Structure formats: C-alpha cells, structure tokens
Structure 1
C-alpha cells in the first residue's frame, strides 16, 4: 500500500529534531537566516527520480528550520562531478553514491565519517553485505540505500517449447544448444561491459584482486578458467555476443526471441517485460561455474560531504537517517520495486509480495562482495578492453588474463 505524503512527513517530523539544524554565528546554516538548505545530488534514472524527489522534499514538510534542494545529476559522470566539486567546497550536502565510489571518495577525505552520528540508526538492521560497502579503513562513510545484483533473465515460453529447465550452471546452457536449434543461440553474453564478466569469474572461484593481501588474482588458474568458460559458451554455439553495442544488441535479441536467456539487473525488468510480456519473463540466480554461484553485489548508498559546517552537517545527517529509514525504504520498494537494504523491510507484507523482491532477493543472498578499494571502478576499463580482444579472436584466455593483470599491477602497485 502506498504511504501517503502526510504520513511520511509525520515520520520525518517525529524522527528528526528541529534543534540540530541551526545554531548561532558562522554555523547558523546554509540559508543564512537559521534555515539550513540540504542539497541532495540524486543519481537515479528518470523513473526513479520522480519518487526520490518527492520523498526527499517531504523531509522538510512542516519544518521551518530546513529546506531540501533536490538535484538529479544522473549516473553518467557523477563520480567525477563529485570529485571535482568537493575540493572547491561546491559539493552537495548528500550524494547518492554507487557502492564502489564510497572508498574512492573516503580515501580523498571528501566524505564525513558517520559512526556514532544521527545518520546511522539501527545499524544491526542493515543487510551485512550492504553495510560492508559503506566501510573504508574501518570507518563508516555512507549509509545503504538499495542493493542489487545481476541475475538470469529467461523467456518462459521459449524454455517450455524447447523442453528445457531453467539452467543452474553454464554447463546446462551449453547442453541446451540442440534444444534451441531454431534460435540464434540459447544465451546472450554481454561483451561490452566489464561488470557482466564478473559472474563468470566468481563462478570459477576467482576474483579480480585480493584486497586483504594486496594481490592481483585475475590471472590465477580460476581467472583463466573464467575466461575459458566465456570462450567455450561462444565456441559451442551456446551464446552470441557483441563488443560494440552490447546493451541494445542484448535487449533486442532477447525481446525478438533470438535468444532465450541473458544476464541482467533489476533496472531492466520493465524493459524485458514490455518486450516479451510480463507472463513470459522469469528471473533466477546467475548460472554457476565449475566452483561456485554468484554475481557482483551492486547498489547505492548515501554519503555526506565532509566540508560542512556544524548546522549543515547535522541537517545532512538527519536527512540521511530519514532517507534510509525502514519506512522510506518500504515506500521506495512499493513504488519502484527496488531492493531494500534493511532486513526488517523484507518482513512487510507489501515487500514480501513484491515480484521484484521475489525475483532478486535469492540472487542478492548469493551476491559476491567486490573489493571495496578506492581504485575499484578503475579496474573495469582494463578488463573490458582486454576481454574485447579475446572475444574478437585476437587473444587466448591466458593472454587476456595476463594482460589484465599487468595493467592492474601497474595501477595498484600490488603483486
């Protein structure tokens, strides 16, 4: 059931104290008259932004001491935009940050530590893997908003017609080639985005790096096996790919019925439903490799800018507490079908009955934590570029992983 505006505003008013947002002198707040304006940079897409804006602005309803300046900056380029704004004091009070950006921002002292502040409420309620993405060097620098991962999307009708069960492993996909002889291939393998290679790596028990030992691991036996598994899917005819226009090619191939399966995330559910019909879309955990089943943990967090005065910092922390509360998370799940980061929210009847939660909760449970290091996002370009050479037949799996590893060691100065 959709929570009313009045109810949400009441929650904000009850949960947040008015005295924390104003003080005398230079710390009187960003409004200059005792009123603090919390600037919030939102990185959500167009559909999500309508809900996030409404929720954010309701934080200030019924209050004279605080206002909200909502700014949607989108996702593309947002990481660099915040990094350019922070040194000059032009960063927002609160930033919706991708999970991999937190350690990057924190390492540069652009995010405020949040342990023991009003921003962190009922910490034990957060999913363990979601909370892990908020940590850097033993300190909390963000609060979880939503969590996601990749999963297997499949066309129920095509699997039924072929007499094929939902595959649990990459071997199952390869074994289904003959059953899908009327299709281009059973499976679309996205080859133009490094993030989509991670399930294969985790499936062989590997990883890009080992942050604890500061070691590059992508070129170990598991890493080579992962890229060999990708090559085998293509060589066997079980998969098709495109290294130049992967998203459009993948979505059109799936929508046109040229393939029966693909790997994708929650953000693609509506497009996939529109393409093949909601009744035909199935979602399951990504198929396992030879060693494990898992896909990368994704999601979004709230970070507070470190360069705020006392009144602005207090207001920003209260804003984060409100935006990450169980009540707001439940509303966001009800209206956008995004997965909450608080375990208590999954107990709500409206959330438990949500089809998106039903689809993706099992996949999130086995999602693989990425290395929460400042250079996390910088690991993707070398992976994408070297993998493309393999997909085009210019390199073997061994040569591919060796080339990626060499670039990682230069980037990280690790073994």
Structure 2
C-alpha cells in the first residue's frame, strides 16, 4: 500500500520538463489536442446563444464600460429564478464561485471561530477559512459508512460552541456524492438551532439526479454559492454569484474589493446561458451520464481499481487505485503523454490523495473512449514495471 506521506512527496513533483505549476498549466491549456479531464470543466457546448451573445457583446464594444457593481439586475433575477429563490433573497454577482467563497469566509468568520469541512473536498475552502477563523476541522469522509459525504451525524460529533460555519459542496468535488432532502433539512435545522452558517456550494447542481437547496429551509443561515464554470461551460470567463438573506449579502458587500463590477462579456454570456438552458441541459446531462458508464467499464477491467461513488451526481468522480499498486501520480503522467489531462488525488485530499485519480467527463464521448483505452493500457504497463 502507498503511504500518504510518500504520495505527498511524489505529488509535489511536476511532470518532466516543467519548472513551475504555471508553466505546466500553460502547456496543458495551449495544447489543442489535449483531452481536458483534470479540472471538471465542460466541453460539451456547441455554437449556441451563449457564444453568440458574447461575440455580439465584443462587437458592440460593451467592454469599454463598467457594468453595474452588483451585477446586471436581469442576470440577478434569472439566477434566483433558476434556483426557485424568488422572494426574501439577495444576490451578488462575482468573478467566479471562488470569489464568492472567499468573500463569505472573510465576512462571516472571526478569529474565535472554527469551520467544518470534509476530506476529500475542495481544499481552497480550507485555505480561505484558515485565514479568518481560529482553525478548520476537516472531517475524513472517504468511507462507505458515511456514504462518502459529510453527514449531519459527523458534524454533530465534531462541532462545538465556536463552530460558525459548515461547508457543504453539493454534489461534492471530487467524489460526486450528493445530499438527500432529509439530510439537507437536518443540516438546516442544525444551523438554525446552533446559530451558525451553512456554506452551500452548488457548483455541480445541474449534473445531479436530484438536488435540494438548504436555503429553502434555513434562508437566514445559508449562503449559496453559484457558478457558471461547469454546467454552463464558462470556466475561463470567471463568473459566479452568492445568494443569501438581504442582511447577509449587505454585510458581504461591505468587504467587496471589485466594486466596478464583474466581466461584462461574461455577464452577457451568463444571461444567454440561463435563457437557453432548457435547450441544451438534457443533452449535456445525458452525455455525461453515458460517459460515466464508459469509464466504469474500463475501471472494472483493471483488477483492484474501483469507483467509490457510482453513479456520480457531478461531472467527475474518483478511481481508487490503492489495491493496484499503481500510484495516481504515475498514471496521471502516463495519460498526459497520451494527451489526456487527469488529476491525482493530492489536489483534493490531504489524507486520501494517495488512493485515487480524479477524472471529469463532461467532454465528447470519443474523448472518453480514448481515456478508457489508455487508462487500461497504462495501468497494465505500470503494473508490469
């Protein structure tokens, strides 16, 4: 078995030929042949209203003007309508969900607080929380007993009178696990009873088979983080939003640095994305769910490899490799040589990164089929060494 410490050392090394992480990502980004399975981005949108609206915005030179500082009112209304949160909520459009996360942590937390997150999870949340709170309790969830997610029971066992915020990434990056309506209601009751906040990151919501908003049950205690990066395929445009009760959003507005508004071209694309969503959402969901099956067949053909969460309610999941003897770093490097960008586990877990490879599958089917072939091929080759 590969130890976490040994794996952590291995994961810090860059692929051969690269001196910095920025240099590596520049290479991956600019290689037109690269199959992008390493950052959960969506490559399934064809030429549609999203693209055309942004091209028209550029043609009209909209970018010469600053947009409204909190986001176009029409865009704010459409986001709330998309979530079914039309009354008693306010919204702030941000430069991506990541900015929303940072603003929430900065405003809500103080040095006497602690924050509950999970491992595996989106580690930048832990990073942000540690800047403003006393400490972060990252609860291990990589096991069948808890369903590979942060349960209300686990939170109760780990919270105390100084717990101020619980982070729920739902569906969860990197595992693809999702919360039931009962679990969401239980978290809402917990937040109300203990006067704490729930940070509900719903970046992958539209990939899920069934999804429920905490905000509908605990509006005064919930900050919902919304992103256009994934289902809308707009990752590089950096646009998102945060939604909460008006007094919470008013407080967050007092610490905003970017008071001249979010990228105007991105907002025009976001408007078109929300308006056209019924036209393309079903196709993208069907494709990603079909792609999961292709990957599962390949994983089932590799002795010792398995999918802890299947089917995933996101556009990603992890492939556990610990019983194969192949380090995730090594198969990731093998795949990179085949023009396939996947991500080893250290990116999303401090405790379990030595176990798994994370792959996303909101890409064309033929690219997933290429991954499946080279994954099986690569595991066989690496095992023989």
TM-score tier by shorter-chain length is: under 0.3
TM-score between the two structures when normalised by the length of structure 2: 0.27
Larger radius of gyration: 1
TM-score between the two structures when normalised by the length of structure 1: 0.26
